[in-house]
Amino acid sequence: SEMCIRDRSYTDFIQGLMMVAALVMVPVVGVMHLGGVSNLVKAVSEVDPHYWAVWGPTTTLIGVISALAWGLGYFGQPHIIVRFMAIRTPGEARAGRRIGIGWMLLAVIGAGLTAVVGAAVYRRDPAALADPETVFIALGQLLFHPLVAGFMLAAILAAIMSTISSQLLVTSSALIEDLYGAVTRRRVTGGWL
């Protein structure tokens, strides 16, 4: 009902704030840890002289297609689409567009800069980072007090929980509307959900 939707919105808002704060804090503190942007660029260039090149000797057609497929596929994800399907007026669509694009810019730039900072921090001792997929967690533990590092882990859980709850909502709605409607031959109204 209306109260459940409002509570869900507050939960999404808090989870989103946690994720954005974590994705912004790690690169900013990482750059300060390295001594500034010039040191970051220098350290990453030592790792790979072609690191900053858009097209380089290691660029492959499959890599470009994969990157494009990931970026374009985002808009078709059911848990993203369902947010925009809930919009009631064109004014809400404009606000949703601004929020969605702003969120994606912060998230993608923050995640990308986290990877760059990780490459610079772990350039001399790659063994310190056993799995490159955990660079966000490793940087959180290296750069922050354990209490703040715990917040970083909570932000990861917030992202997971937000996606899972959205996927469950989409799945349950599809099951009720498609299967229940097909079996009983009755149209499901909004009051059910």
With contact defined as beta carbons under 8 Å apart, do 119 and 47 qualify? Answer: yes
| Residue 73 pLDDT grade (very low, low, confident, very high; cuts 50, 70, 90) | low
3-state secondary structure of 54: coil
Q: Cα(114)–Cα(25) distance, rounded to whole angstroms?
A: 9
Report the SS3 class of residue 112: helix
Contacts (Cβ under 8 Å, ≥6 apart) of 148? 25, 140
Distance CA 172, CA 60 (A): 40
Confidence band (pLDDT; 50, 70, 90) for 5? low
| This prediction's pTM | 0.75
Q: Which residues contact 113 (CB under 8 A, 6 or more apart)?
A: 27, 30, 31
E strands present in the chain: none
Share above pLDDT 70 across residues of the chain, in percent, rounded to a whole number: 88
* Per-residue pLDDT reduced to its tens digit, 137-192: 999 998 999 999 999 999 999 888 888 887 887 787 778 777 777 777 776 665 44
Q: What is the Cβ-side half-sphere exposure of residue 50, based on CA atoms within 13 angstroms?
A: 6
3-class SS at 82? helix
Residue 190 contacts residue 50 (beta carbons within 8 Å):
no
Sequence length of the chain is 193
Q: Give the burial class of 1: count Cβ atoms within 10 A of its Cβ; 0-12 exposed, 13-18 middle, 19 or more buried.
A: exposed
Q: Name the residue among 7, 26, 50 with its Cα closest to residue 152.
A: 26
> Which band of pLDDT confidence, cut at 50, 70 and 90, is reported for residue 47?
confident
List all residues 6 or more positions away from 15 whose beta carbon is below 8 Å from its beta carbon. Answer: 158, 159, 161, 162
